[in-house]
């Protein structure tokens, strides 16, 4: 059984959510049936969206530190508890010798397998602006609907002022209105394309047809760790 390395801290609650989903999705009757995990909960990795928008330091150096620590500790492959961070992988991959399983790829594959023709994307401004999901989805024949430019901040606010601030009383009525608007525009389901959005869905009891990117990554990591055929693409 391969050892999973989790590049975490982006944010800490999303990291715990990924770990929990791996544990819950693993068929097990005893401790020894579970998959070994190494976690580097590096909360000092600079904000990915700010870096992409030219408003902060690059997270790449700290991501490299985390990747190397995981590799040296014995991880056989890495998964990243952050969608936006995947934008910086071209800077990280040449400096490590173990593969990274892409959350973008496994989530797109899931949307394709489920037969969706049009999906909404709930992600940070950083992820949306890079086109990480849009390019992959459209190459697979799936339309990607993003929030209107003047309403994208509603998702960011829920992530930063809600989940990251551990604010259980955050008011999500404007987010619910946005989801309805995107659904009316043709979104058959919503990709939870930030690892803190699934936490928000649970915390604030949001309703809808969701494709949980964190859950898709967890299931793909289990398959790969057990050396089963993973229906995904490995980066590197």
Other C-beta atoms within 10 Å of 144: how many?
22
Q: Got the DSSP string for 181-195?
A: HHHHTT-SEEEE-ST
**Cα gap 49→3, rounded to integer Å:** 29
Is the omega angle on the peptide bond into residue 97 within 30 degrees of 0, that is, cis? no
Q: Strand, helix or coil at 25?
A: helix
Residue tagged active-site, from 7, 82, 121, 199: 82
Edge-to-edge strands, sheet with 189-192? 143-145, 118-122, 189-192, 210-212
**Residue 144 is among the residues annotated as catalytic for this protein:** no
Residue tagged active-site, from 67, 194, 201, 206: 194
**Residue 82 is among the residues annotated as catalytic for this protein:** yes
Question: Which residues are catalytic, by number?
Answer: 82, 194
């Amino acid at each position: 059984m391969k050892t999973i390395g989790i590049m975490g801290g982006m944010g800490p609650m999303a990291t715990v959510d990924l770990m929990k989903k791996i544990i819950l999705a693993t068929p097990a009757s005893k401790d020894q049936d579970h998959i070994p995990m190494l976690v580097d909960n590096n909360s000092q990795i600079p904000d990915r969206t700010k870096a992409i928008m030219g408003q902060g330091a690059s997270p790449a150096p700290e991501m490299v530190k985390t990747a190397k620590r995981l590799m040296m500790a014995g991880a056989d492959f890495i998964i990243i508890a952050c969608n936006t961070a995947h934008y910086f992988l071209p800077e990280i991959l040449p400096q490590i010798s173990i593969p990274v399983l892409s959350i973008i790829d496994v989530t797109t594959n899931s949307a394709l397998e489920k037969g969706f023709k049009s999906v909404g994307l709930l992600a940070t401004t950083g992820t949306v602006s890079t086109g990480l999901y849009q390019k992959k989805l459209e190459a697979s024949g799936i339309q990607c609907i993003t929030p209107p430019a003047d309403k994208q901040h509603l998702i960011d606010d829920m992530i930063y002022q809600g989940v990251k601030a551990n604010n259980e009383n955050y008011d999500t009525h404007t987010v619910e209105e946005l989801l309805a608007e995107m659904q009316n525009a043709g979104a058959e389901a919503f990709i939870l394309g930030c690892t803190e959005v699934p936490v928000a869905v649970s915390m604030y009891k949001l309703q809808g047809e969701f494709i949980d990117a964190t859950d898709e990554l967890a299931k793909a990591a289990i398959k790969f760790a057990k050396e089963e055929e993973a229906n995904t693409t490995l980066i590197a």
